Structure 1
Amino acid sequence: MAVSEDKGAATADITHYGVEDMRRHAVASGAKGVVWAIALMVFAHAGQGDKLELVWSIAAVLVLASAISRFSAPLSSIVFSFAIGVGGLVAALATSNGTMAVVVLTTVFFAVFGLIENARVAVDARIGQAAIQEKSEVVSMLLREFEENQADWLWQIDTRRRLQAVSPRFAFALGKTASQLEGMSFFELIAGTNWGNAGNGEGVREFADKLKRKEPFSDLLVSVSLENGLRWWELSGTPIIDENGTFQGWRGVGSDVTEKRESSEKIAYLARYDTLTSLPNRLMINEALGDALKYAEHWRTRCAFLMVDLDRFKAVNDSLGHLVGDQMLAQVASRLKGMIHEGEICGRLGGDEFGIVIRDASDKRRIDTLARAVIKRLSEPYEIENQILYVGASVGSAIGPRDGHTVEELLRNADLALYRAKDAGGGEHCDYEPLLHANAEEKRRLENSLRSALEKNELLLHYQPVVDAKTEEVVGFEALVRWNSSEHGSVSPAKFIPLAEDTRLIVPIGTWVLQQACNEAAASWPENVKINVNVSPEQLLEPEFATTVVRALSQSGLDPKRLEIEVTESIFLRDASIARKALEQCMALGCSVALDDFGTGYSSLGYLRKLKFSTIKVDRIFVQGAAQHSPESLAIIRAVVAMADSLGMTTTAEGVENDDEAEMIRQLGCTKIQGFHFGRPMPAADARLIFGRPHGGPERKKA
């Protein structure tokens, strides 16, 4: 049994040699130690000192051997050594052998100390070995999970760059089996048909350089030519160095990122190209213009930027829908691409605006030639869904670096030139001039001041008389807003009214005009005198316009029959149904509606059929033309008067400046007259004085 216990202890493994096993082996070892101790005491009792030392020498060798060979079972060796040590010490003392007693104690002490130290080292070694084994198992488990569950794969090559330990997923990525790939050249596989040529795939040469320099790398993008086409791999790797510092090859991780790269390329394309027209978008145009500016400054030459805007495109969109509008924009893009030369780029800035960058504009004639060609080509008819459509184009241009040293400056200045071309009626090309910037700056300053004009009480109303054509008695006044700015002085309505409409400031200004005019008429004028208030299309598009009219009438106490709202034909060009509904609501209150500037804009008799106007105002252009005996003007006035009479409407002739013109208007049959001959626009106090004169008539201008 003792022999079997010794064999078990010698081969003991920490993981399965338990406490009970240790106890049994310790008891057996203790018994053997007691046997040797008894032997030593027997020899001492017999007085055989020389044999006692021999026996102790043998026992000491066993103690040391036990300490060396049984460190895996330290308890057994300690018990064995202790038992022998006690017997040897007793025998030495019995024979009065002090030297032997010291030797026994010393031997047992060092044996036990060495045994404990060796056992500690052995335990640490086995714990470390177990930890390493556990880590190895964990790594193996993670690698298995990585291979089984991830899209990535492992790769390994030797010093000759041939594949080793090919994983199944890596083999699948190459479209082959692991056994087929084992030992094959990695580069030959991924280079495909480009192997050995100067045209190796993108990234392959960089990959080869990394391997040559034995440098670790990560996320290296490599184009790979496989049987199923071009793929993109992302590789990471590190050199394999053994414990002797010898290079053994490479090991790393790879993944197929083809879909990810294609998605990134698509995103990059969408970020720089317009999806509707396939032209470069604003971002790319800005970059191209920036490069052109750098080129011009470096070579001391010039570049140019042309901003193109379609004329009347909004009418196409509004009448035929955005689908037709988009098809037209695609055709516009196609026409523009056909006119671009080398060194030029065109793109879509947004909406119906396009931009053209001329990298080298040293020949200034090219700018004007291209601009006029663009206007001509884009003005040609478009056939869309079996319809022939027409739009025009306007172009504004700026030259760099003369008109701007930055992209932003050139864009702004080309835009200013474009506005000038649009203001001229469209279909024109205008170059940028410094005066345009000065005008734009003045407009900006006017806008800032206009925003606070109401708060500062800088707006006031003037009133121009409207008289009966036959009696020349005042039957109404037209309210006209004036602006005395603390910063700009007296500002012409021709300047600030269009600005107010562009910025929609006309809405609060119009509300104020309506309230003030109603207050003045209700408080100071006879009950038979009307007040005419001009209303902008922007006001009519407000959902609460009718409510604004009701509020003005109720707060002033004015009879609705004394309020006449004046509108122009332009109200029907934008959301005609909304404008018509708003006016019908006002007429339901009892207000009347006058159509101003009839015949000067987009005249259509359909307007008169859709909405029952109370008055048609004949523009001063026709009045002045008739005064100069223009047959066309006379015919127009007669036609308007006849039409108004048949529809039960009155007519008001504007711009009458003398007696002859007044008499002519009477003979033509107009109902009312308005003009400087009967009074200029005047402050409210002067308007009140008119009613103190005989017959309630204005003081006429003398010829």
Structure 2
Amino acid sequence: MALLGLVDPKDGDWVRLRGMQYSSLAQATKSRLACQVAAGIGVVALAWGGIPPLALAAWVLLLGLTLWRSHNHDMALSDADMRTLARSEIRAQRLRSLVNALVWSIPLVGFGPFLAFHVQLEIWAVLSILMTASAALAAAVPLGTLIFTAIVGGSATGLFLYSGHWGMSLITGAFILTVAIGATEGARRHMAARIAETGLVEKEEVVSLLLREYEEGDADWLWQIDTARRVRSVSPRFAFALERDAASVSGTPFIELIAGASWQSGDIAPSLRDLADRIKRKESFSNLAVQVNIAGQQRWWELSGTPKLDDDGNFEGFRGVGSDVTEARENSDKIAHLARYDTLTGLPNRTQLNESLSDALAWAAQFRARCAVLMIDLDRFKAVNDTLGHQVGDQLLARVSQRLRQEMGEHDMCARLGGDEFAVVLRDASASKHVETTAKRIIERLAEPYLVDNHTLYVGASIGSALGPRDGETVETLMRNADLALHQAKDLGGNAHKAYEPALHALAEERRQLEVSLRAALEKKEFVLHYQPVVDAGTEGVVSFEALVRWNSKEHGFVSPAKFIPLAEDTRLIVPIGEWVLNEACREAMNWPEHVRIAVNVSGEQLLGTDFSASVVAALAATGLPAHRLEIEVTESIFLRDATKAHKELEKILALGCGIALDDFGTGYSSLGYLRKVRFSTIKVDRSFVQGAAAGNPESLAIIRAVVAMADSLEMSTTAEGAETEREVEMIRELGCRKIQGYFFGRPMAAGDAKALFSSRHYLARQQVA
């Protein structure tokens, strides 16, 4: 039904197929017109004498009119395959086929009864030839043939029945059926052929277009050689790539052409030899990277080629495509270099270190020797970054890498792992104390001063080492064990070398278990605050307490603050722990007299990593503690991390009315700039100076006097820490410190004991004296 044009299925491009059907009518319209004219002449000749001439003339005129209209309509469909065919055009064509068939039925229906039987048969023979010609010449549109055959053939059948010739009517019916089947099958084959032909043409057009675009592109070209391996059919793009004109290139041996000057010297690149061998073996190749010499310049081409065979399978040469990939090759080399080397220092990176260590382990296992890996971490480098900026820090890292290179042996390698971490692989570490000697030499070399942008800088180095295969038979194990030793060296104060020991695993495991327990300590309510009193140096009355957190773990028992506080800072658990301490301390301070303040230690992670001032406001609001009764204690290290943000946060706290104490003054990277920019309420003198002064150390005495004098001039109070004996207390008073903190007046105590101090007789008596 779709082939006949009676329906248009939804699947398939039937709009286009219908256009292909009807456009073919125009191609055969002249042949059909000639056939019908010849048939009309034959009918007139056969009917002449039996039919009045006027009737014949009228029929001829009518036939001519229908043929003229059909011819014009068919010609109008010549471009139907290039546009959308209207349904009205299809209906008009069917109508003309119907009218034409009715006109041709007149010789049988109108003239036949008046003619002899043999004349009827002769006219029927002419019309049967016409029906057959219609099926052949209008094969693309079978519906017109079926309409013509059905009407004309039906007329003949009726005539023969009317004349009483039953056998002839049966023959006519069989002929009609045969023509109908033939027209339908012919239309089907015609349509399949047209579809195949159109598809082939489209493919050829697409291929031609792609080849043209390929040739006219900026990067690729076509190449072709004959059986003698000489270049043939030189394309413009190929000649351009060779920087030659096409005429001078044609007929030149392909390998000689792209080898350049190396062809004469015989020093041909291995990739060119590989290409020549593949061509010689008549072997296809794809994306073969070849180093060529074009106009004296070394370049990289990527070639693909396949043997060309004739119809009999005989070899005719090679043809293929090529492109210049020099830039991509150079970029690939750069990427490969970046993947294996550190961009800042030029040292190998972790990837290359792993490969080198793997080779060293294999060598040690083969020759029953020892290799070693040294993990290096710079001491005090962060202070350089924080104070002078990352640009100076990067230059310092470059200088460090230069010194490391100078300390390497012939078979050793140093690498940068990232940040201020480096590593060294010693291929042969079999000699006694070789690792220790190398580590000592590196520490001493890196400790020498650096001059960067008119700054004299000092850094140290902590080193952890592990021997292979004794301390690990794989790269991962050996580096992990060296890293454990490095952590131990850092914990010992840095600027030292520590060799791996199996016991370090136990320490690492203990740290891991402590971390797991620490993460759940707040939820399990394992933390408790103790309070150490701070007294007035004159009256010895309690003026404040310092809140000190203690951890009593259900799994590990009492854990020293010196152990869990650094762990909390490393894992950033110090932030929620610090917020709990702040809230708990403020809440407990509400149980003390109104003049007694509470001092809370705040770490750099807590102050700089969060909106700490908001936490202070929340704690004061929740507990109702007046802001002037809260004192925040910080150390000088916060200014080394981010001085600008530290100043802003402390200014916000001061604006709330809280006090700020500078703890451990004089033990770190002390700077008078801190005291000028931040209005500290208290400067705390470290216990090491107090003990030194009590022992008669003149430097300690001078430092305490200077701190007191400076604090007085800046209207700040001073607190001496670590007073344990009466002699130390008297000495502190003589030096002018206003407040004292130490075991002499009280150890850190539970909240209940701290509260009980204010109801004791001793305290009440002192209050009356005051």
TM-score (structure 1 length as normaliser): 0.77
- What's the CA shift for 1:510? 1.6
Q: In 2 relative to 1, CA 23–403 (structure 1 residues): closer, same or farther, beyond 3 Å?
A: same
SS for the counterpart of 1:575 is: helix
Asked if the contact 1:303/1:400 (under 8 Å) is kept, the reply is yes
How many Å separate the matches in 2 of 1:327 and 1:640?
A: 36
Q: Which residue, 178, 189, 192 being the options, matches 2:246?
A: 178
Instruction: Say whether the 8 Å CA contact 2:383–2:641 is kept in structure 1.
Output: no
1:369-427 Cα deviation digits (max 9, x unpaired): 33333333333333333444433333332222222233333333333333333334433
What's the offset of the Cα at 1:319? 3.0
Q: Which residue of 2 aligns with 1:505?
A: 573
Instruction: State the match for 1:260 in structure 2.
Output: 328
Deviation at 1:15, TM superposition (A): 13
* Offset at residue 282 of structure 1 (A): 2.3
Change (3 A) 1:577 1:328: closer
What is the distance in 1 between the residues matched to 2:386 and 2:343?
22
- Does residue 367 of the first structure (1) align with residue 440 of the second (2)? no
Structure-2 change in CA distance of 1:28 and 1:415 (3 Å): same
Distance 1:675 1:167 in 2: 94
Alignment match of 2:642 (pick from 575, 600, 603): 575
CA 183–507 in structure 1, closer or farther in 2 if over 3 Å, else same: same
Match status 1:315 vs 2:383: yes
Is the CA contact (8 Å cut-off) linking 2:386 and 2:642 kept in structure 1?
A: no
Structure 2 distance, partners of 1:388, 1:269, is 33
Q: How many Å apart are 1:645 and its aligned residue?
A: 4.2
Pair 1:351 & 2:419 matched = yes
The residue type equivalent to 1:274 in the other structure is D
Partner of residue 602 from structure 1, selected from 669, 676, 689: 669
Residue 231, structure 1, aligned to residue 310, structure 2: no
Find out whether 1:532 has 2:599 as its counterpart. yes
- Check conservation: 1:596, 1:617, Cα contact below 8 A: yes
Q: Does 1:651 align with 2:734?
A: no
Corresponding residue SS for 1:447: helix
Write the distance in 2 (CA, Å) between the matches of 1:148 and 1:223: 24
User: What CA distance in whole angstroms lies between the structure 1 residues aligned with 2:630 and 2:37?
Assistant: 125
SS at match of 1:477: strand
Question: What's the offset of the Cα at 1:25?
Answer: 7.6
| Cα shift at 1:646 | 4.5
Give the aligned partner of residue 691 of structure 1.
Answer: 758
Q: Are the counterparts in 2 of residues 679 and 698 from structure 1 also a CA contact under 8 Å?
A: no
Residue 264 (structure 1) shift = 1.7
Change in 2 beyond 3 A, CA 1:27/1:546: closer
**In structure 2, the residue corresponding to 1:221 is in which secondary structure?**
strand
The verdict on how the C-alpha distance between 1:129 and 1:157 changes in structure 2, with shifts beyond 3 A counting, is farther
Counterpart residue type for residue 250 of structure 2: E
Distance 1:541 1:664 in 2: 37
The equivalent position to 1:211 in structure 2, one of 274, 279, 283, is 279
Q: Is the 8 A contact 1:464 1:478 kept in 2?
A: yes
Q: Which moved more, 1:208-217 or 1:678-687?
A: 208-217
1-side partners of 2:199 and 2:680: how far apart?
99
- Residue pair 1:473, 1:697 contacting (<8 A) in 2 also: no
Match of 1:557 in 2: 624
Check the 8 A contact 2:489/2:498 in 1, yes or no: yes
Q: Are the equivalent residues in 2 in contact too, given 1:690–1:698 (CA < 8 A)? A: no
Q: CA deviation at 1:692?
A: 2.7
For the residues of structure 2 that align with 1:362 and 1:16, how far apart are their CA atoms?
97
1:54 alignment partner in structure 2:
none
Provide the C-alpha distance between the structure 2 equivalents of 1:281 and 1:201, rounded to a whole number of angstroms.
Answer: 31
Amino acid at match of 2:660: V
Task: Work out the CA distance in 2 between the residues paired with 1:514 and 1:187.
Answer: 82
Is the CA contact (8 Å cut-off) linking 1:468 and 1:673 kept in structure 2? yes
The residue aligned with 1:47 is: none
Q: Which residues in structure 2 correspond to 1:93-112 (within 5 Å)?
A: none
How far apart are the structure 2 equivalents of 1:131 and 1:592? 89
Tell me which residue corresponds to 1:83.
none
| CA distance, structure 1, for counterparts of residue 452 and residue 664 of structure 2 | 35
Alpha-carbon deviation of 1:27?
7.8
Q: 1:306 to 1:565 in 2, by over 3 A?
A: same
d(CA) in 1 for partners of 2:205, 2:716: 101
Structure 2 unaligned spans of 5+: 1-23, 46-132, 138-182
SS at match of 1:624: helix
Cα distance in 1, alignment partners of residues 190 and 713 from structure 2: 121
Q: Secondary structure at the match of 2:374?
A: strand
Contact 1:506 1:538 (C-alpha < 8 Å) held by counterparts: yes
Q: Residues of 2 paired with 1:134 and 1:661: CA distance?
A: 104
SS at match of 1:533: strand
2:53 counterpart residue number = none
Distance 2:383 2:429 in 1: 35
2:685 aligned with 1:675, yes or no?
A: no
Residue 227 of structure 2 corresponds to residue 159 of structure 1: yes
| Alpha-carbon distance in 2 for matches of 1:476, 1:203 | 83
1:340 corresponds in structure 2 to: 408
Unaligned residue ranges in structure 1 (runs of 5+): 1-13, 36-70, 76-115
Partner SS for 1:460? strand
Q: Which residue of 2 aligns with 1:9?
A: none
1:111 is matched with: none
Indicate conservation of the 8 Å contact 1:272/1:283, yes or no. Answer: yes
Distance 1:593 1:377 in 2: 41
Cα deviation for residue 460 of structure 1 reads 0.5
Moved more, 431-440 or 665-674: 665-674
- Residues 561, 253 of structure 1: alpha-carbon distance in 2 compared, 3 angstrom cutoff: closer
Distance 1:594 1:28 in 2: 123
**Change in CA separation of 1:208 and 1:402 when aligned onto 2, cut-off 3 Å:** same
* Displacement after TM superposition at 1:634 (Å): 3.9
- Partners of 1:388 and 1:414 lie apart in 2 by 31
Provide the residue aligned with 2:445 in structure 1.
Answer: 377
Given that residues 474 and 697 in structure 1 are in contact (C-alpha distance below 8 angstroms), is that contact kept between their aligned partners in structure 2?
Answer: no
Alignment of 1:41-60 (within 5 A): none
Match of 1:391 in 2: 459
Q: Aligned letter for 1:686?
A: D
AA of the residue aligned to 2:636: E
C-alpha change, 1:662 and 1:26, in structure 2 (3 Å) is closer
Q: Tell whether 2:262 aligns with 1:194.
A: yes
User: Which amino acid in structure 1 is aligned with residue 744 of structure 2?
Assistant: H
**Aligned counterpart, 2:309:** 241
1:599, CA displacement in angstroms? 2.8
Identical aligned residues as a percent: 63
Q: Deviations over 1:317-362 (max 9, x none)?
A: 3333333332332333333333333222222222222222223323
- For the residues of structure 2 that align with 1:164 and 1:586, how far apart are their CA atoms? 85
Give the whole-Å Cα distance in 2 for the aligned partners of 1:229 and 1:688.
Answer: 89
Q: Which of 30, 34, 58 is residue 20 of structure 1 equivalent to?
A: 30
1:584 aligns with 2:594: no
Q: SS at 1:340's partner residue?
A: coil
- Equivalent residue for 1:617, pick from 684, 697, 700: 684
TM-score, with structure 2 as normaliser: 0.71
RMSD of the TM alignment (CA)?
3.9
Q: Report the alpha carbon displacement of residue 483 of structure 1 after superposing the two structures with TM.
A: 0.4
Q: Is the 8 A contact 2:260 2:296 kept in 1?
A: no
Structure-1 separation of matches of 2:731 and 2:221: 98
CA distance in 1, matches of 2:674, 2:29: 110
- Which of 485, 492, 499 is equivalent to 1:431? 499
* Count of residues paired in the alignment: 611
Task: Trace 1:76-115 onto structure 2 (pairs within 5 A).
Answer: none
Deviation at residue 490 of structure 1 after TM alignment: 0.6
Amino acid at match of 1:570: S
> Could you tell me which residue of structure 1 aligns to residue 510 of structure 2?
442
Query: d(CA) in 2 for partners of 1:564 and 1:698?
Result: 27
Q: Which amino acid aligns with 1:173?
A: A
Question: What is the aligned partner in structure 2 of residue 544 from structure 1?
Answer: 611
Distance change >3 Å, CA 445–CA 235, structure 1 → 2? same
Whole-angstrom distance in 1 between the partners of 2:764 and 2:694: 24
Shift of 1:485: 0.9
Corresponding position of 1:90: none
